[in-house]
A and B are shown apart, each in its own frame.
Chain A
């Protein structure tokens, strides 16, 4: 019996090629940067989904940790003249370290308290960055060198794409491993998990550190591409958007969250204003209002997000088809 070639692999092959040549179709550096920004937010939303959806730790400090990574890289580059690579490494570690401290401090806190603590942390950090402008240049922001001299928008696209694939792969591997199992068990019932021999403290802290490292890395790379980091990055609005993206995509699924962020980001960018048949509509604040509404209704009526169920269905169908095919096969053999 011939083993069939898995169609999914063929599809993946084609897709990877498509993705790699996509920049040639995108042409302008503006469009490339929009998509690159979409990748960045996809990473943020996916890692937030890992932290809150899988591990049940409701952190509002995600953007703050991104900012810590980026600011560390920026200040090192400005004051010590280090290369972007050094900056990114130190920035990532710094975000991880802060994540370790927050994670350790908040061990005892329940969901709502953790949310409050991380809001306070982000706000203090933002105010301090604005106020200590002798060191941080305040709202002007710190400028960052490009990743390497002469990098093009296309280069930045590939860097961010690679980062997205890498971090998403890592997170999926984590979620599928024993680690993911333990973390999920803890979310459902911490005491039961502890009774089963899971080192609750270690895993709780670890998941915070890992997501902090991921966003620190992405933040320091992304803001090297943007060229400037300002305290406004850490505004609660930005954090709110990341959360909304993840929820709309599906908080239980890393992939759903990433896709939700990617689509929403590009959607928000394209929905700024629309000209239809001479009718000029400016969405401005309304698009955020609609976004809030979408968030609420998603939560209320589609707990798993809007995208995740669709994806799930798609695969279930595929599985069903295969099962049907497999059931037929023995019959054919018998015949």
Chain B
């Protein structure tokens, strides 16, 4: 490309500068005209970023009603522009030159996204009922994997899929026991400063689980046999790993089962009632304490099952939980805390961001090392811009 460096530099700088102007100015314009300014900051920032004054000026003049369509529209434009910029700067990048490569990355990102989502759904369920973020979630995931592993040491001839329900049962029991002992007093008002207590006590329990496992099973890596003994298969331009597809399918199945449980069963109604209004629920005969315990148990059960679906795919060590936990935090915040479908979207987004980030990062020697960091950067940005998450309700 024969672009003068100065042009590139100004092109790169102009976007953010106009974005800032838009983010700062547009809500003021709206307010001055006596209109609702909700979403004006976001649209202003994106519009300024995409087209600078070309788009900001008409917005200022006409001040159309900023519906969801507007945000999505400018966001899509921004993405398109970023992609074009990327293509100009790195014309040789595989993500620009090779369509099949991009499709493969998208497929692998979506597959792993469903796998990530299962664990995150458990975390978000706990939050929606209890208002607590469990910092021990990663360790439940780890324990689930080990339960499956030791079960299959006993039942060597079975497919590792049988580990999933057993691991779920084990983590359900551990989770409910922990909730009864340590979180219930909080709901009974026996603990001062409950919010901070919840963070620390779950954190402490995670710490305990991780090091107990380490001391008990040792640091050697372990893994069960595969679900299907096949390497990979080719489907059109895609090369897919069957074991991951099985894990993703189990993940989707369990999430659907959970949604059914919540929508259509008595238990689900109870959980929803408690998550919306504890007192009203208690009045109508639902015991919030029981629901809390059940929600925590189901949440940890999903983490444990997620571990059991992954131990045939990835190598297991006692510290696998930490990375997975941080990833789940990212997912549930992206999806909006407490929103179960949101966690699913969050999982897919993180799967995609990691796959495309690692696959497209200009410096191939570093793309892989920054894989987890890509998700974290998106997370930090979303947290600052919209703490209720991409799909969460505005508070």
Co-assembled chains A and B: yes
Contact of A124 among B191, B377, B387 (CB under 8 A): B377
Interface pair A303/B204, CB less than 8 Å apart: no
User: Measured between C-beta atoms, what is the minimum distance from B369 to chain A in Å?
Assistant: 4
Contact of B191 among A240, A293, A303 (CB under 8 A): A303
User: Measured between C-beta atoms, what is the minimum distance from A229 to chain B in Å?
Assistant: 20
Total B residues in contact with A, Cβ cutoff 8 Å: 43
Decide yes or no whether B364 CB sits under 8 A from chain A.
no
A137 to B373, CA, bound (A): 19
A residues in contact with B204, CB < 8 Å? 244, 247, 292-293, 295-296, 299
A247 to B384, CA, bound (A): 28
B residues in contact with A244, CB < 8 Å? 204, 207
Decide yes or no whether A284 CB sits under 8 A from chain B.
yes
Decide yes or no whether B380 CB sits under 8 A from chain A.
yes
Contacts A105-B384, A112-B133, A244-B207: A300 and B185 contacting too (C-beta < 8 A)?
yes
Decide yes or no whether A113 CB sits under 8 A from chain B.
yes
Contacts A115-B199, A285-B215: A293 and B208 contacting too (C-beta < 8 A)?
yes
Q: DSSP class of A's interface residues: helix, strand, loop or mixed? A: helix
A119 to B326, CA, bound (A): 8
A214 to B132, CA, bound (A): 31
Interface pair A299/B373, CB less than 8 Å apart: no
Interface pair A284/B215, CB less than 8 Å apart: yes
Interface pair A120/B376, CB less than 8 Å apart: yes
User: Measured between C-beta atoms, what is the minimum distance from A247 to chain B in Å?
Assistant: 6
B residues in contact with A127, CB < 8 Å? 369-370, 372-373
Convert A267-302 into 0s and 1s, putting 1 for each residue whose CB lies closer than 8 angstroms to a CB of B: 000000000000000001110110111011001100
Total A residues in contact with B, Cβ cutoff 8 Å: 41
User: Measured between C-beta atoms, what is the minimum distance from A24 to chain B in Å?
Assistant: 38
A129-147 with Cβ < 8 A to chain B = 130-132
Interface pair A112/B376, CB less than 8 Å apart: no
Decide yes or no whether B177 CB sits under 8 A from chain A.
no
Supplied contacts A288-B207, A292-B204, 10 more A-B pairs, CB within 8 Å: A56-B193, A56-B196, A58-B199, A109-B387, A111-B195, A117-B380, A120-B379, A120-B383, A127-B372, A292-B212
- Could you show 30 A-B contacts with beta carbons less than 8 Å apart? A52-B196, A109-B383, A110-B195, A111-B199, A113-B383, A115-B135, A117-B383, A120-B380, A124-B377, A127-B372, A236-B322, A243-B203, A244-B207, A284-B215, A285-B211, A285-B212, A285-B215, A286-B212, A289-B208, A289-B211, A289-B215, A292-B204, A292-B208, A293-B204, A295-B207, A296-B182, A296-B201, A296-B208, A299-B200, A300-B185
Which B residues lie at the A interface, using CB under 8 A? 133, 135, 181-182, 185, 191-193, 195-197, 199-201, 203-212, 214-215, 322, 326, 329-330, 333, 366, 369-370, 372-373, 376-377, 379-380, 383-384, 387
